Every structure is written in C-alpha cells, then in structure tokens.
Chain A
Amino acid sequence: DAGITQSPRHKVTETGTPVTLRCHQTENHRYMYWYRQDPGHGLRLIHYSYGVKDTDKGEVSDGYSVSRSKTEDFLLTLESATSSQTSVYFCAITRQGGSPLHFGNGTRLTVT
C-alpha cells in the first residue's frame, strides 16, 4: 500500500443522485488519477491531475468532474449518477513521469 486511501469502499446510490468519491494520499505525489474498471472494457481513465488545481480529462470523462484543492486529495464527483456509472473506481498516484504508478484498493459503486 503506497499510502492511498479511497473512500467510501462501497456505495449504493439511486439514479440521479450526486456522488463524490475521495482519494487521499500521504506520499506528496504530483500526479493523481481516477480510473474505472469494467468487465470487457478493462481500465479506462476518467480524469487526472498533474498538480493542485491542474486537472484534465481522460477517455471517459462525460458525466464526471474532479477537483484537487490540495496535494493530498483528489475528488471525483458524479453530478447525477446513472446506471452506466456502476463500476469499480480506482485512484492511482505517481511521483513523476517515469515513476511507478500505485493504486488504491478501489471503490465499488452501484447505481440502482
């Protein structure tokens, strides 16, 4: 465990409800990422951050927003959850380009 905590670990929510997932790191790493993992699709990048208040979109960013107001926290928000956002969400961090990527244990989100 590279000092990454994701919360909550499990969540069930209803369609149309806003949801925020949190990733907290104690490593002071520059880069933070949100991925989702689904059967048949593998790992897909949602959003990432390359510094405080510096974020950019990944390949599946529609319906998601992120914020990073301090180095240690990266928040992923589903503004209005849909059933297609049922997935396992992983946060990852790396110190700099070229360094190993380290993952959290994931958040399993179910949207009913």
Chain B
Amino acid sequence: KQEVTQIPAALSVPEGENLVLNCSFTDSAIYNLQWFRQDPGKGLTSLLLIQSSQREQTSGRLNASLDKSSGRSTLYIAASQPGDSATYLCAVPLVMDSSYKLIFGSGTRLLVRP
C-alpha cells in the first residue's frame, strides 16, 4: 500500500531564507509526483509535476526533485517571502487499468516571517 509522508508538519523561517520541504513515499514504482500549495480557506493549487522519468522540475523560485530509488522528493524554495506562507502538499498516483487517483501527504505548513 502506498503511503506518503511529509516531515516536518510545520516550519517557520525568516524571510529570505532558502528552504527545503520533504516528501517520502513507500512504493517507488510511481507514475509521477505532484506538489501543491494550499492557502487557508482555499483549494489546492498545482505547483509542479515531475514525471517518473524526470529528476527535477523548476518554476520560478521553486525547484522540485525526485529520487525514485530512495522514495523521496524535495521542494526547494529560494529566497523565501511572506507570500510563500501556506501549506505545501505532495501527492503520488495509484494507477490501475482506467483508474488514476492521487494519494496525498498530510502537508507541511510553512510560515515565512517578515
């Protein structure tokens, strides 16, 4: 059974710091891995999707890496800003026949202090 874990559950950093969020999964035979951001009272926003054949994806100050063999992904945020404060979740899919459904980690709640 695939399980997705995110540690730490919460993180507080001063503005400007570079930081890394972690995501681990138990079954390395994943199709892809997706990172999301969730602001309070809102739905999830897709940040980055890494296919299983890729090692990393970049979008602006965000860089996500994937190491399937170790069952880990990291989300690197450069030069953090107060506007980056949110909960970050990772998810991997379970794929079977026509079925495609995502299993989510419980998220890391990030606070960037001015």
Chain A residues with CB under 8 Å of chain B are: 31, 33, 42-43, 45, 48, 50-51, 54, 56, 58, 90, 92, 94, 96-106
Q: Which applies to chain B's interface (DSSP): helix, strand, loop or mixed?
A: strand
Cα-based distance from A106 to B44 in the complex (angstroms) = 9
Interface size on B, residues (CB 8 A): 26
Do A97 and B95 contact each other (CB < 8 Å), given the known contacts A33-B101, A102-B46, A103-B44?
Answer: yes
B45 within 8 A of A: yes
Q: Which residues of A contact B91 (CB under 8 A)?
A: 101
Contact of B46 with A101 in the complex, beta carbons under 8 Å: yes
Verify B34–A48 contact, CB threshold 8 A: no
Cβ–Cβ < 8 Å partners of A101 in chain B: 34, 36, 44, 46, 91, 102
What are the residues of chain A within 8 A of B46 when measuring CB–CB?
Answer: 100-102
For A99, give the chain B residue with the smallest CB separation: B49
The smallest C-beta distance from B71 to any residue of chain A, in angstroms, reads: 19
Q: How far is the CA of A31 from the CA of B34 in the complex (A)?
A: 16
Q: Collect the chain A residues with CB atoms within 8 Å of residue B31's CB.
A: 97-98
A91 closest partner in B (C-beta): B43
A42 close to B101 (CB less than 8 A): no
CA distance A90 to B49 in the complex (A): 20
Among A42, A50, A92, A96, residue most surrounded by chain B Cβ atoms (within 10 Å): A42
Judge whether A42 and B104 touch: CB under 8 Å. yes
Contacts of A98 in B (CB 8 A): 31-32, 51, 93, 100
